[in-house]
């Protein structure tokens, strides 16, 4: 399992919020898999396949745990990826997971969970506004042109 420094996780959070410099840092420092995680969470099949093919199994399980896959959560626990499991559980509304990360000083994983949650909410809001619905409709039509 690849180790991700606090700084790498912080750059990932910044990327989620649209920071171009953080995106470039992730690319230049060989953390493409973290970029793929957010895309996979947003249901990009190519990104998820990138995680699987690259053998980033903990990150793939993290994505699936966010989408309530109990087997993926068990995989994270059996792999001793407790921080990733707790982060996914925060996204899923588990206050105890946040307390556990806070107690162990893993504030960067708390920030990551909140960044992901914010992006999920933003995506959902975009899909429900009149402009967002129209944009999605045009994007849908482009896929069939």
87 within a domain of the structure (yes/no): yes
**Would the pLDDT of 33 be above 90?**
yes
Q: Which of 101-105, 120-124, 134-138 has the highest mean pLDDT?
A: 101-105
Give the chain's mean pLDDT.
89
pLDDT of residue 138: 54
Helix (H, G, I), strand (E, B) or coil at 48: helix
43 within a domain of the structure (yes/no): yes
Domain extent, residue 137, equals 6-143
pLDDT of residue 144: 41
pTM: 0.84
| Residue-wise pLDDT tens digits, 96-116 | 999 999 999 999 999 999 999
1 within a domain of the structure (yes/no): no
**CA–CA distance, 29 with 8 (Å, rounded to integer):** 9
**Would the pLDDT of 89 be above 70?**
yes
**CA–CA distance, 136 with 133 (Å, rounded to integer):** 5
Question: Using a CB cutoff of 8 Å and minimum separation of 24, what contacts does 11-14 make?
Answer: 12/37, 12/38, 12/112, 12/115, 13/108, 13/111, 13/112, 13/115
Mean pLDDT value of segment 123-128 = 58
- State how many domains the chain has: 1
**Would the pLDDT of 11 be above 60?**
yes
Mean pLDDT value of segment 8-35 = 97
Q: What are phi and psi of 104, to 5 degrees?
A: -95, 5
Q: Give CA separation, 131 vs 2, 127, 137, 138, 143, in Å.
A: 40, 8, 10, 11, 19
């Amino acid at each position: 399992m690849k180790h991700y420094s606090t700084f790498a996780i912080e750059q990932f959070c910044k990327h989620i919020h649209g920071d171009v410099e953080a995106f470039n840092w992730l690319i230049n420092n060989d953390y493409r898999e973290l970029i793929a995680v957010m895309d996979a969470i947003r249901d990009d099949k190519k990104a998820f396949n990138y995680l699987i093919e690259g053998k980033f199994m903990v990150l793939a399980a993290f994505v699936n745990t966010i989408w309530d896959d109990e087997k993926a959560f068990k995989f994270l626990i059996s792999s001793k990826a407790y921080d990733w499991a707790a982060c996914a559980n925060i996204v899923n509304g588990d206050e105890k997971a946040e307390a556990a990360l806070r107690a162990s000083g893993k504030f960067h994983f708390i920030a990551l969970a909140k960044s992901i949650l914010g992006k999920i909410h933003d995506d959902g809001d975009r899909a429900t506004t009149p402009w967002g619905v129209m944009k999605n409709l045009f994007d849908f039509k482009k896929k069939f042109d």
